[in-house]
């Protein structure tokens, strides 16, 4: 009965009718793609956070191991030694060297002048002496040599007496600058 007189009343196969509406699945696809991207980013961030946490834990373990290897008594001794060296260096920096002052006096001393006695006082910054000279010009040259030195502030001549052998006995006092006269440069 499917085909009566060339007319077909019932279809032999059923056909499905599909209606396509443009853009119907587009938002759904975009939503699924965004969800996948967000899931991938959050998974990556989760993995990165775990990686950083592991690195932090490893660094903490290494630091704890280093802390256990420290010699605290030795460190304390080193700090004490450092403080002592600082104190000694300050002491040496401010140290007065009489050998420098004596060598300066020796370099300024005339060949015909001989010391009989010397005394010095750092707090007054003075160097006093008693000496003999052959004659007055030698005495004048000696005083001029002391005055010409820039580490000497002032020179004062005490008494001058003539000895029986013709030499002059005199006393002098030198006022000096301690930083230039006694300290190493």
Model confidence over 97-131: pLDDT tens digits?
777 778 888 888 888 899 999 998 878 888 899 99
pLDDT band for position 7 (cuts 50, 70, 90)? low
Single out the residue of 142, 136, 137, 151 nearest to residue 172, CA to CA.
142
Integer Cα distance of 70 and 84 in angstroms: 22
Instruction: Report how far residue 150's alpha carbon sits from residue 152's, in angstroms, rounded to the nearest whole number.
Output: 5
Give the three-class secondary structure for 128: strand
Distance CA 171, CA 109 (A): 14
| Chain centre to alpha carbon of residue 74 | 22
Per-residue pLDDT at 179:
74
Query: Alpha-carbon distance 129 to 115, whole Å?
Result: 7
Average model confidence (pLDDT) across the chain: 85
Beta strands in 74-112 (DSSP E): none
Within a 10 A sphere around the Cβ of 105, how many other Cβ atoms? 21
Q: Which of 16-25, 59-68, 133-142 has the lowest mean pLDDT?
A: 16-25
Which tens digit of pLDDT belongs to each residue from 139-183?
999 999 989 888 888 999 988 999 999 899 999 999 988 777 766
Give the whole-angstrom CA distance, residue 151 versus residue 133: 23
List C-alpha distances in Å: 169 to 110, 118, 174, 176: 15, 14, 17, 23
């Amino acid at each position: 009965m499917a085909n009566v007189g060339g007319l077909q009343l019932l279809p032999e196969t059923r056909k499905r009718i599909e209606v396509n509406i443009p853009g119907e699945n587009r938002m759904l696809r975009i939503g699924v793609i965004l969800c996948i991207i967000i899931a991938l980013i959050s998974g990556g961030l989760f993995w990165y956070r775990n990686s950083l946490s592991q690195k932090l834990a490893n660094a903490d373990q290494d630091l704890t191991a280093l802390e256990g290897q420290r010699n605290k008594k030795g460190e304390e001794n080193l700090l004490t030694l450092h403080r002592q060296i600082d104190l000694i260096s300050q002491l040496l920096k401010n140290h007065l060297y009489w050998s420098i002052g004596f060598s300066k006096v020796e370099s300024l001393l005339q060949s015909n002048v001989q010391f009989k006695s010397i005394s010095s006082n750092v707090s007054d910054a003075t160097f006093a002496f008693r000496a003999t000279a052959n004659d007055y010009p030698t005495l004048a040259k000696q005083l001029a040599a002391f005055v010409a030195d820039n580490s000497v502030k002032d020179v004062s001549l005490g008494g001058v007496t003539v000895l029986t052998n013709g030499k002059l006995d005199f006393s002098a006092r030198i006022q000096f600058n301690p930083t230039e006269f006694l300290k190493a440069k």
